[in-house]
Amino acid sequence: MVSSTNVTVVGAGSMGAAIAARLVQGGASVQVLARDAGKAAALPGVVPGAIGDPITGGIVVLALPYAAVGEVVARYADQLDGAVLVDLTNPVDFATFDSLVVPAGSSAAAEIAALAPGAAVLKAFNTTFAATLASGTVGAEPTTVLVAGDDADAKAAFTTAVEAGGLRVVDAGSLKRAHELEALGFLQMTLAAAGATSWSAGFALAR
Amino acid sequence: MVSSTNVTVVGAGSMGAAIAARLVQGGASVQVLARDAGKAAALPGVVPGAIGDPITGGIVVLALPYAAVGEVVARYADQLDGAVLVDLTNPVDFATFDSLVVPAGSSAAAEIAALAPGAAVLKAFNTTFAATLASGTVGAEPTTVLVAGDDADAKAAFTTAVEAGGLRVVDAGSLKRAHELEALGFLQMTLAAAGATSWSAGFALAR
């Protein structure tokens, strides 16, 4: 059984900060590792550190841009065996904003799973803008964290930790669905950039 | 300029019926062609016919399963030059419900555009369940028809016709975005099948 009460968030940007705040709210012990440890230390209720410090959480949320993930996973390779590794990236080609940088049909999550074969990789948080993690709503609906992955225990531990923080979690299926989640995340970004939705809204999953 | 007041809907299933009803509500002249002309004749306010009859609309909505589209496009090849051709399919592999039948990175819309090179192909309606076209709402949000395509005039005519019927239309970009729309449509179907949303709800685009 993976503990849902010890979580490491790597990255202290808007996503990392919003996720850490929810996990702290849920009563988890939350380590935040940032390139600039001072950014982690500024977050309330967390155990701050620098990228490179030992990971203490059994659930590790990579709150980093896709381009930064490979280096971090390589650095922590020996510490990720047996961990739940959560990928939230949208691997958008920012030069064109017209495609993803991962191979057609694949996903960032699948690429990361190949880099960390001993970890149980989950895709989550890539369809929720940071502001909606903080507000808890997307329009009139509750913010819904869609999670995909192949390991049921990993998914259960993740779900427990995130629901404890007051967010709704919905199982989106196997890790193969990361492709669709990344398509949704990318589409949502293009719609926000075009003004068809806002960076504090996006797609809500209605019942 | 494409007229937005003459539309042909091919197919009289739940999607075809719901779309025809909205277009009739918007004041368009709506021809509905069905394999069984009796099904078309049962729809209020439309000009019914059988698949094979001449197409009268400048906008042609293919309200058919993906597997049935190829034959219909081939049959009408000479009548689709210059038409706005709307594809609403989700090309799901129903044997596995775990992937799409189109090549990785491509889309049903791109495949259809290759079959009908003289038509201006739009992707639309594949992210809105039929019930939400009728109700006009997804949860607390207005039903939003996401449309992708490369021809601005075609998109404008489509948007005018659908907005006249009381639905919100949002431009989702070029036809390349059909890949993401089909991923969203497929994901939404898997979530409805799993009970995480209902077939009368799904993803709402909040502001």
- Mean pLDDT in residue range A30-38: 97
Judging contacts by C-beta atoms under 8 Å, the chain A residues touching residue B142 are none
Tokens of B7: 């539309």
Judging contacts by C-beta atoms under 8 Å, the chain A residues touching residue B170 are 191, 196
Q: Side chain identity at A205, as an amino acid letter?
A: L
- Residue A75 makes CB contacts below 8 A (sequence gap 6+) with A51, A52
Helix axes B178-193, A178-193, angle to 10 degrees: 120
- Backbone angle region of B49, left / alpha / beta, with phi > 0 → left and psi within -120 to 50 → alpha: beta
Closest to B165 measured CA to CA, from B145, B180, B182? B145
Query: Which pLDDT score is estimated for A4?
Result: 79
Hey, are the CB atoms on B206 and A139 less than 8 Å from each other? yes
Distance CA B147, CA A121 (A): 33
According to DSSP, the residues that pair with A169 across neighbouring strands are A145
Average pLDDT of chain B, as a whole number = 97
Closest to B146 measured CA to CA, from A190, A174, A125? A190
Tokens of B204: 């709402």
Closest to B103 measured CA to CA, from B182, B170, B37, B169? B182
Hey, are the CB atoms on A180 and B202 less than 8 Å from each other? no
Query: Which pLDDT score is estimated for B2?
Result: 79
Hey, are the CB atoms on B184 and A187 less than 8 Å from each other? yes
- Mean pLDDT in residue range B141-160: 98
B1 pLDDT band, cuts 50/70/90, is: low
Judging contacts by C-beta atoms under 8 Å, the chain A residues touching residue B207 are 139, 197-198, 201
Query: Which pLDDT score is estimated for A23?
Result: 98
- Mean pLDDT in residue range A112-130: 98
Q: Which residue has the tokens 């077939």?
A: B199
Task: Say if pTM beats, i.e. exceeds, 0.90.
Answer: yes
**Does any CB of chain A come closer than 8 Å to the CB of residue B95?**
no
Task: Give the Cβ contact number of residue B100 at 10 Å.
Answer: 23
**Does any CB of chain A come closer than 8 Å to the CB of residue B98?**
yes
Hey, are the CB atoms on A187 and B203 less than 8 Å from each other? no
Hey, are the CB atoms on A194 and B173 less than 8 Å from each other? yes
Compute CA distances B183 → A134, A178, B202, whole Å.
27, 10, 13
Query: Which pLDDT score is estimated for B57?
Result: 98
**Does any CB of chain A come closer than 8 Å to the CB of residue B193?**
no
The residue in chain B having the minimum alpha-carbon distance to the alpha carbon of residue A185 is B180
pLDDT at A3 over 90: no
Distance CA B203, CA B148 (A): 17
- ipTM here: 0.97
Pairing of strands B120-123, B144-149: antiparallel
The domain limits of chain B are 6-193
Judging contacts by C-beta atoms under 8 Å, the chain B residues touching residue A176 are 98-99
CA A14 to chain centre: 11
Tokens of A85: 């590794």
Do A66 and A178 touch, CB atoms closer than 8 A? Answer: no
Question: ∠ CA(B79), CA(B83), CA(B84), 5° rounding?
Answer: 140
pLDDT tens digits for range B25-48: 999 999 999 999 999 999 999 999
A1 pLDDT band, cuts 50/70/90, is: low
pLDDT at A194 over 70: yes
- Backbone angle region of A27, left / alpha / beta, with phi > 0 → left and psi within -120 to 50 → alpha: left
Query: Which pLDDT score is estimated for A202?
Result: 98
Distance CA A7, CA A30 (A): 5
Query: Which pLDDT score is estimated for A2?
Result: 79
Tokens of A3: 């503990």
- What CATH code would you report for B6-193? 3.40.50.720
pLDDT tens digits for range A127-173: 999 999 999 999 999 999 999 999 999 999 999 999 999 999 999 99
The residue in chain A having the minimum alpha-carbon distance to the alpha carbon of residue B143 is A206
Query: Which pLDDT score is estimated for A104?
Result: 96
pLDDT tens digits for range A72-97: 999 999 999 999 999 999 999 999 99
According to DSSP, the residues that pair with A122 across neighbouring strands are A86, A149
Judging contacts by C-beta atoms under 8 Å, the chain A residues touching residue B205 are 191, 196-197, 202-204
**Does any CB of chain A come closer than 8 Å to the CB of residue B168?**
no
Do B141 and B203 touch, CB atoms closer than 8 A? Answer: no
Hey, are the CB atoms on A104 and B99 less than 8 Å from each other? no
Judging contacts by C-beta atoms under 8 Å, the chain B residues touching residue A178 are none
Query: Which pLDDT score is estimated for A49?
Result: 98
- Mean pLDDT in residue range B79-97: 97
